[in-house]
Amino acid sequence: MLIDFFSAVGDVLSSESTYINGALFAALLAYAAAGEWVAERSGTLNISVEGMMLSGAFAGIVGYHISELIVVGLVFGVIGGLLIAAVQAEMSHRLSADQFVVGLTLNILVFGLVGFLDREIEPQALRAPEVEIPVLVDIPLLGNALFGASWPFYLLYLLVPLSWWLVYRTRWGLELRAAGDNPQSADVSGIDVNRRRRQSIYYAGFMSGLGGAYFLFARIAAFDDSVIGGQGFIAIAAVIFGGWTLWGAMAGCVLFAGALSFQLSLQGLGYELNTEMLQALPYLTTIAVMAVFAKRVRPPAALARPFIRGLK
């Protein structure tokens, strides 16, 4: 039995499809996690990232359905994510509504709304064409996954470093981090704490909406209300796993995407294992990692704490 298990693991790890699927899911998580990381550095816990991703996916296919252009679909995806971000930001950091309640409500609302609109509109799309980078695409196992992907995948190579640069190399990023670590002192210094928090949520909406649209065009080019399937919550877990560092969050995305890809590859290679256990594997991995790392990392001091001027 043990020999069979290691044989299966070996087959999975030597299969190119494992790395292709892993890169696909890691990119989806990376889009959302990069945006969520920026939001959490400002002190806001953006539970609605799942809704942003789902809204982005639906808006993306609608944009393509209207224009027959993938670029337009991606722009629509960004707009879809920003619409959810606007509600989250205004409710949580202007009206001081509970950000957890707002986030969960938005997730449920988006899930129901896009399911209804999908049945009414029935939008159609095509997959984004793949672009191969010469020489690099020939790297064994990883070449096609990282350098032979659909072209929206390559936006990550720009947007992830851009996220780091915004937070650590701009005045806006300095004020953002101050809002997350010590909002009272930031306020005394003349920083509009809640404004910075709202802006960080808009950035999360931009990234998550784009990620949802990317996933739609990179994988199936057809919408279903389960297309995101809880990946937004896994992206939040990746940020926590990474200790609220961007590169740690990206490592978390790779880990969780690896679990998803492992599940798909086992099934694709014809191994007959417990179906329910395989489907639960990515989420069990998430829970296990959270249990180990959640107490060992230091979040921004004011994370998830609303800021009201004059109150400590």
What is the pLDDT averaged over residues 29-58?
A: 96
In contact, 212 and 9? CB cutoff 8 Å:
no
pTM of the model: 0.92
Q: In whole angstroms, give the CA distance from residue 29 to residue 235.
A: 5
Full domain range(s) for residue 100: 21-293
CATH number at residue 133: 1.10.3470.10
Could you tell me the maximum CA-CA distance found in the chain, to the nearest angstrom?
65
Measured distance CA(112)–CA(10) in Å, rounded: 41
Residue at 309 is within a domain: no
pLDDT of residue 121 exceeding 60, the answer is yes
Q: What is the dihedral of CA 84, 85, 90, 93, to 10 degrees?
A: 140
What are the pLDDT digits (tens) for 174-222? 999 999 999 999 999 999 999 999 999 999 999 999 999 999 999 877 8
Instruction: Give yes or no for residue 106 having a pLDDT over 90.
Output: yes
Per-residue pLDDT, 33? 97
Do the domain assignments include residue 311? no
Distance CA 197, CA 72 (A): 28
* 39 in a structural domain: yes
Q: How many whole angstroms separate alpha carbon 306 and alpha carbon 102? A: 13
Number of folded domains that form the chain: 1
- Is 312 contained in some domain? no
| Residue 112 resides in a domain | yes
In this model, does residue 310 exceed pLDDT 60? Answer: no
